Every structure is written in C-alpha cells, then in structure tokens.
Amino acid sequence: MSEQAEGSRGGLFGTGGRFSGQVDPIMEKFNESINFDKRMWSQDLRGSIAYAKATQKVGILTEEERDTIVAGLEKVMEEWAAGTFELKAGDEDIHTANERRLTEIIGPLGGKLHTGRSRNDQVATDTRLWIVEAERDILKDIATLLGASAEFAREHIDVLMAGYTHLQPAQPIRFAHWLMSHMAAIQRDAQRLTELIPRANQCPLGSGALAGNAFGVDREFLAKELGFEGVTSNSLDSVCDRDFVAEFLMWHSLFLVHLSQMAEDLIINNMLKCVDMADAYATGSSLMPQKKNPDALELLRGKAGVAIGRSVGLMATLKGLPRAYNKDLQEDKVPLFDAVDTVKDCLAIATGVIVTMKPNPKMLLKALCPEMLATDLADYLVRKGVPFRETHHISGACVRLAEEKEISIDTLTLQQLQEIDSRFEEDVLKVWNYEESVERKSSIGGTAKARVLEQIDQCVAFAQKLNDA
C-alpha cells in the first residue's frame, strides 16, 4: 500500500516540493499498489465522505464546501460501481486515484479534503472497514456450510460407517456423526472469527501520520459515521497496528486446516468407494480413461499449506518493524485479499462437495468389521461387575484367539468364549450388532441416533444465529 505520504514524490497529491529528481520508473512500479488496493475503493470513499463531514464540524470546510466534496465523492463512487472509473498514470494507490478524480470533478476544492489526514490513518481505516465486511460475509458463508451439512447429516442419519484411530478400525459410528464432528470444528472457527470483529472494528481515522489530528476532528463522530464500534486509543499505534490482519491470517490458516482434514477423510472414503463425489467436483485423467479424481478435495487439502505460509509470512514482516508506519506494511494487503478470496472459494467448494456427494451405505457397512466391537465385548463384562482393566485383557484374549484360529471374532462360540472367561453367558452373542453398538453410546455427543440428531439441531441453530447476526 503506497499509503505513506512521505514515501511519495511529485504529482498533485505527492510531496514533490521535497524532491527535485525524477523517480526511477522501476521504483515507481515497485512502489505503487493501485493494482491490488483498488478493491477498497468503496471503503476509501466512505472514509473520505465521513472525514469531509468531520472537518466541516471543526470549521475547516464550510457547509457548502462539504456538500460539494461529498457530492463529488458520491460521483466517484458511482463511477466505480458502474465500472467506468478510469485509472491514470500517477494513480499509485486507491487514495490518490480517488482524490485525483474528485479534483477533476469539483476542481481545486478537492485539495482541502486531505487536511489533517494522512494516508497512514486513511489506509488503516480502509483496511479495517474492508476486513470487517469480509469477515461478516465469511460468517454468512460458514452458516451456509453448517446448515447444508446438518441437513445432509439428517438425511443420512441411519447410515453406519467405520470410525478409525491411527487409520486403524476402531469403533462403529454414524456417517452423520462423522460429518457433525467436522462441523463442530467449523463452529469453533465461526466463534473465533466472530471474536476477531470487535478488535478490528475500531476507527483509526483522525490519527494523522502518527501524532494525531491537528484540527481536533471528532473521532467518535467518525467512528459512528463509518459504523465502527469505537476508536483506537493511541495515534501512533493506530497507523502501524496490523494485529487485525495477522489475526485473520492465523484464523484462516486454522480454518483451512479443518477443511483440509475433512477433505482428507473424504478422499480416503472416496478411494474405498464408501463415498462417491459428484462429477462437478472431480476430473478425469489425460491418459487413463477410467479415472475419476477428487480434485476439489485435493485442492481443499492443499490450500491449508499456502494459508499457513501467508500467516507466517506476515508475522515475519511485522516482527522487526520500528514503531509508527513503515512501507513494509504495504505487504499486508496481497496476503489479506488472497486469504479472504481463498476462504470464500473453499467454503463454496466444500458446501458444494457435501451436498452433492453420495455415501454408499453398502460399502460403508462393508468397511465395518466385528473386531471393532471388541470394546463392546469388554463392556459386556463391565455390566456384570467386572473391572474394566480386567475386561479389556479378557477381550484382548478373545481377539488373539480369533486371530490364531484365523476366524472373525464374532464367530467364536459361546464355549470358546467361556474357556477364556466363565462369566460370558449366552446373551454375549448379542454384542455383535453394529446398530446396537452405536446406540449404546447415548451420552451427550455420542453416536446414538437421538444424540446425533441433537448435534444436528444444534448445528442448524448455530447457523441460524450466524445468519441473524
């Protein structure tokens, strides 16, 4: 961001009086930021309109001048909205571009707008406005993902699947329970993002270059005009604080890690033919006609690595900066914009993948194995008063016997079980039922149907709360 006036030279809006030499054309290109910060045109113009009103309140502008400037800024806003705004040579950033166009429309009066204001507090204001709007939009997209996933889970509530630890068969669960496990992480992400907004939503406008505003503008008025929740407390900190950007980048890296984990689960289940991905989110092979590759999922998985890099990169940039504004801070915009775009794209893709995928109940059931009920076998004896540490050992002996005989554990006879422990009775044979196993996990958060439905209902309610915010 070419927001520091001290870093500019020449032209109507620079500081050409200080310099006599010409800028190296390569430096001019190196310095400009208009090609990426132009997406903050609306925020920049809104900030300028509010500032014009604030300067009129302290006598810098007359009411007529204020109205003329505001009308001119609204004209510039119309041009951006219509796609007719023309960038010109010398428009090094969105601030100079907008002020240049304002002056073309209303004449030299446009030069009064910047009185007492620096591009340092101007860009901090624009960026905070932009990121808060982006975060709120993302929360709406998360609500869509959560709501769609919850209803998909409800639709497939009776489908069972294998649960794994260490990628080894562990215990039977519901497919809906698996999906809600990922949505539980996404809900935490939404909570964290919600908590970022109040810290970002503080108004730095009126802080000047670093020392404050020399004309006593009412910063609380500016905050109210722009929809901020409050004002930043220290002018020096206001112009160099990028915590709110760093926090978002850290947030987006964790969020994409969670999507990556879900994608990996689906890639594995797709490979096992337990879940079929829609053609819209897969590609074929340029050589092997039989291939159907889960590219959307692999890209979701891969985006997390780049996200972590963005977060670490900005932190490294911030690490050694002296106080107040430094041009290094221009490097926060590209990773921020890329992060927001990536998150929104990934949310759209993830939602599409989930609502169009087709779980294969037969293959999911086939992935279950009786050995996954070994814990249920141990629990059987617990219910008869045997300490769990002992029942765990007994159940392990049953697993070992089945392996030695090269048979499935559920085919062990009652006699064979009783030879291991005489407390096994005829009703032990009822243990080998996957549906009853998941239903026995009836505590809050468990796999019992009623409990999974509770998770689904809670997810829907959470999504609705996000939408209503």
Q: Can you tell me the mean pLDDT for 125-142?
A: 98
Q: Can you tell me the mean pLDDT for 387-391?
A: 96
Q: Are strands 202-203 and 230-231 parallel, antiparallel or unpaired?
A: parallel
Q: Can you tell me the mean pLDDT for 232-260?
A: 98
- 263 Cα distance to chain centroid: 15
The model's pLDDT over 271-286, given as tens digits with 9 standing for 90+, comes to 999 999 999 998 887 7
Return d(Cα 296, Cα 270) in angstroms, integer: 12
Return d(Cα 125, Cα 325) in angstroms, integer: 14
- pLDDT score of 287: 82
The answer to whether residue 118 scores a pLDDT higher than 50 is yes
Contact (CB, 8 A) for 464 and 143 = yes
Is this prediction's pTM over 0.85?
yes
Which domains does the chain carry?
5-115 (1.10.275.10), 120-366 (1.20.200.10), 370-468 (1.10.40.30)
Closest to 258 (Cα-Cα) out of 295, 300, 311, 299 = 300
Task: Using pLDDT thresholds of 50, 70 and 90, give the confidence band for residue 143.
Answer: very high
Q: Can you tell me the mean pLDDT for 409-422?
A: 96
Return d(Cα 332, Cα 204) in angstroms, integer: 17
The answer to whether residue 190 scores a pLDDT higher than 50 is yes
- pLDDT score of 20: 59
Task: Using pLDDT thresholds of 50, 70 and 90, give the confidence band for residue 4.
Answer: very low
Contact (CB, 8 A) for 19 and 10 = yes
Token readout for 306 is 């780049």
- pLDDT score of 17: 58
Output the CA torsion 339→340→346→347 (10° steps): 150
3-state secondary structure 271-316: HCCCEECCHHHCECCCCCCCCCECHHHHHHHHHHHHHHHHHHHHHH
Task: Using pLDDT thresholds of 50, 70 and 90, give the confidence band for residue 28.
Answer: confident
The model's pLDDT over 393-408, given as tens digits with 9 standing for 90+, comes to 999 999 999 999 999 9
Taking CA atoms, 417 is separated from 21, 380, 381, 385, 432, in Å, by: 94, 12, 12, 17, 13
Taking CA atoms, 285 is separated from 43, 274, 281, 289, 295, in Å, by: 45, 21, 14, 6, 11
Closest to 6 (Cα-Cα) out of 31, 38, 41 = 31
Between 8 and 268, name the one with better pLDDT.
268
The answer to whether residue 7 scores a pLDDT higher than 70 is no
The model's pLDDT over 163-182, given as tens digits with 9 standing for 90+, comes to 999 999 999 999 999 999 99
The answer to whether residue 6 scores a pLDDT higher than 60 is no
- pLDDT score of 18: 61
Contact (CB, 8 A) for 343 and 134 = no
The answer to whether residue 433 scores a pLDDT higher than 60 is yes
- pLDDT score of 30: 77
Longest dimension (CA), the chain: 101
Task: Using pLDDT thresholds of 50, 70 and 90, give the confidence band for residue 12.
Answer: very low
The residues annotated with a catalytic role in the active site are: 166, 285
- pLDDT score of 19: 56
Return d(Cα 329, Cα 317) in angstroms, integer: 8
Return d(Cα 371, Cα 168) in angstroms, integer: 11
- 105 Cα distance to chain centroid: 40
- pLDDT score of 25: 77
Q: Can you tell me the mean pLDDT for 217-222?
A: 98
Mean of the per-residue pLDDT values of the chain: 94
- pLDDT score of 11: 45
The answer to whether residue 9 scores a pLDDT higher than 60 is no
Q: Can you tell me the mean pLDDT for 4-9?
A: 42
The answer to whether residue 452 scores a pLDDT higher than 70 is yes
Q: Can you tell me the mean pLDDT for 429-457?
A: 97
Contact (CB, 8 A) for 437 and 376 = yes
Return d(Cα 364, Cα 63) in angstroms, integer: 72
Tokens 């989930």 belong to 354
Contact (CB, 8 A) for 173 and 269 = no
